[in-house]
Amino acid sequence: MTKKEVTQLSYEIIGLAIKVHKNLGPGLLESIYEECLKYELLKNGYEVKQQFIVPIIYEGLEMKTRLVADLLVNDCIVIELKAQEETLPVHEAQLLTYMKVLKKPQGLLINFFTTNITKSLKPLVNEYFTQLPD
């Protein structure tokens, strides 16, 4: 993928998250938003992995862990969802770690517990994004 394609995919995902938020509003459980966003993504032709194990390799061995990411879209963008008053730096660090371990170029931290979802979402990129062709 190119930077432009990843960025376009990110915009499309954000648009679907906004649609889910407009339909449901704030105040529900994270799992409800996750299911609805997954539904919208699949309905629009995206490949989605949900609640999947993030493998941790330590000294060449895969550790038996229960590190679980919320969504992965088109094997490219990791989505971490929240439904709480505010996101914290630890949530960004968590998403950046998922992106690094999975070798994915972009992540979206989306908090549905807000009246304006565009002000509470954070797109994150890493070194894998900078290595993509323009």
Enumerate domains of the chain plus CATH numbers. Answer: 3-128 (3.90.320.10)
- DSSP per-residue codes, 46-112: --EEEEEE--EEETTEEE----EEEEEETTTEEEEEE-SS---HHHHHHHHHHHHHHT-SEEEEEE-
- pLDDT for 127 equals 97
Quick check: 109 and 82 in contact, CB under 8 A?
yes
Among 94, 99, 83, 106, residue whose Cα is nearest residue 12:
106
- pLDDT for 65 equals 85
- pLDDT for 133 equals 96
Instruction: Measure the CA–CA gap between 100 and 94, rounded to whole angstroms.
Output: 10
Give the SS3 label for residue 40.
helix
- CA-based end-to-end distance of the chain: 9
The two tokens of residue 6 are 């990843």
Name the DSSP class of 121.
-
Mean pLDDT in runs of 10 for the chain (134 residues)?
97 98 97 99 99 92 91 99 96 96 98 95 97 95
- pLDDT for 35 equals 99
- pLDDT for 66 equals 81
